[in-house]
């Protein structure tokens, strides 16, 4: 019998420190009302100075272990992140070492806010091909270090966190990850983080120009996001022969509440069936969908046989979806 990938276990890690919109009012020309109205964000969490992306990843994994989940049979680790620990060793390899896993491949994956979807879909393909049996997807982002603290258009958006999913093989009875979609397109003119790539070594001049920080033409990104969100959702549903009204829970990437509201309204999808976390955590990049999925699951919002739709859009540009029939 062929194998299907399914999500066996989920856990999150949220750093303790809360940053409110009022905190930004002290240093920037902004207001709580502007931020809430234009983005839906009320608070976001920030990691400690001495807490790295790897540390947050390990805290999320620890929360998974506290559920009694055995990780000794993990044979693949994928870490979607834009804030990896080092260039190499990869963050995934550091995690492998900490878990004491011998028969395991590791991969850091760069797809910005679509990283969780790209990783789930990659894990699914590896499992369906027979290469792996248990893949740990560990999204971790210390992204609050990346915006220019003086740029009110980006710094207010982001929060830190980590989210882990254990994706495992099971006999194919129609449940599990049933359809996937991914696409990308270069638009560095509207969103980029260029230094310290090999073409853009960090120099004092580049630092003065804030080229080591996130550049984003927010309203341009917004326009493409709403279109490609809807396209990606429709394409993955069509692949599976599932209609949107059969979907029990929609977990979108959370960059802006207005993107989510627009997509839900345009496709006539009830907002009550969306896992919404942006008000608490802001945009947590690759870990955002993991946070929303894990919270909904632990709140009992997902039952066996439910269709759960995950869709992301992010820097790159990258976008994609995963459709799950919950096992």
32 forms part of the interface with ligand ACO (CB under 6 A): no
221 forms part of the interface with ligand ACO (CB under 6 A): yes
Catalytic residue from among 45, 113, 132, 256: 113
DSSP string, 244-308: GGGEEEEEE--S-HHHHHHHHHHTT--GGGB---HHHH-B-GGGHHHHHHHHHHHTT---TT-EE
- Residue among 141 and 307 whose Cβ is closer to ligand ACO: 141
- Active-site residue flag, 283: yes
Nearest C-alpha neighbor of 81 from the set 51, 62, 56: 56
Name residues contacting ligand ACO, limited to 152-181 (CB under 6 A): 152-153, 156
Q: C-beta of 170: minimal distance to ligand ACO in Å? A: 32
Nearest C-alpha neighbor of 318 from the set 80, 139, 115, 126: 115
Q: Which residue of 255, 260, 277, 278 would you call a contact of ligand ACO, by CB under 6 A?
A: 255
CB atoms within 10 A of CB 325: 22
Helices (H), 111-158: 115-128
113 forms part of the interface with ligand ACO (CB under 6 A): yes
- Active-site residue flag, 253: yes
- Residue among 15 and 315 whose Cβ is closer to ligand ACO: 315
Tokens 């879909």 appear where? 121
**53-65 helix and 91-99 helix, angle to the nearest 10 degrees:** 40
Q: Which residue of 23, 25, 32, 34 would you call a contact of ligand ACO, by CB under 6 A?
A: 34
Catalytic positions, written as ranges? 113, 253, 283
- Interface positions with ligand ACO (CB under 6 A): 30, 34-35, 38-39, 112-113, 152-153, 156, 218-219, 221-222, 225, 255-256, 283, 285, 314-315
């Amino acid at each position: 019998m062929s194998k299907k990938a399914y999500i066996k276990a989920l856990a999150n890690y949220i750093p303790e420190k809360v940053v409110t919109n009022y905190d930004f009012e002290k240093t920037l020309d902004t207001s709580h009302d502007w931020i809430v109205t234009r983005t839906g964000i009320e608070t976001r969490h920030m990691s400690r100075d001495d807490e790295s992306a790897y540390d947050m990843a390990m805290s999320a994994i620890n929360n998974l272990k506290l559920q009694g989940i055995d990780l000794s049979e993990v044979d693949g680790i994928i870490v979607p992140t834009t804030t990896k620990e080092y260039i190499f060793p990869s963050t995934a390899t550091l995690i492998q070492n900490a878990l004491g896993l011998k028969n395991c491949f590791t991969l850091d994956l760069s797809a910005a806010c679509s990283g969780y979807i790209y990783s789930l879909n990659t894990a699914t393909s590896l499992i369906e091909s027979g290469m792996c049996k248990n893949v740990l997807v560990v999204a971790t982002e210390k992204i609050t270090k990346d915006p220019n603290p003086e740029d009110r258009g980006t710094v207010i958006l982001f929060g830190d966190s980590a989210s882990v999913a254990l994706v495992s093989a099971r006999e194919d009875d129609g449940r599990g990850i049933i359809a996937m979609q991914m696409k990308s397109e270069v638009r560095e003119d509207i969103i980029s983080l260029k230094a310290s790539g090999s073409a853009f070594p960090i120099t004092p001049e580049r630092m003065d120009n804030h080229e080591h920080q996130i550049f984003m033409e927010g309203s341009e990104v917004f326009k493409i996001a709403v279109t490609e969100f809807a396209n990606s959702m429709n394409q993955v549903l069509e692949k599976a022969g599932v209609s949107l009204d059969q979907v029990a829970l929609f977990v979108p990437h959370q960059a802006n509440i207005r993107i989510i509201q627009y997509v839900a309204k345009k496709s006539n999808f009830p907002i009550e069936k969306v896992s919404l976390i942006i008000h608490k955590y802001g945009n947590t990049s690759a870990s955002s969908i993991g946070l929303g999925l894990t919270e909904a699951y632990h709140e009992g919002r997902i039952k066996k046989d439910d269709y759960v739709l995950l869709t992301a859009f992010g820097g790159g540009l990258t976008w994609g979806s995963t459709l799950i029939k919950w096992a």
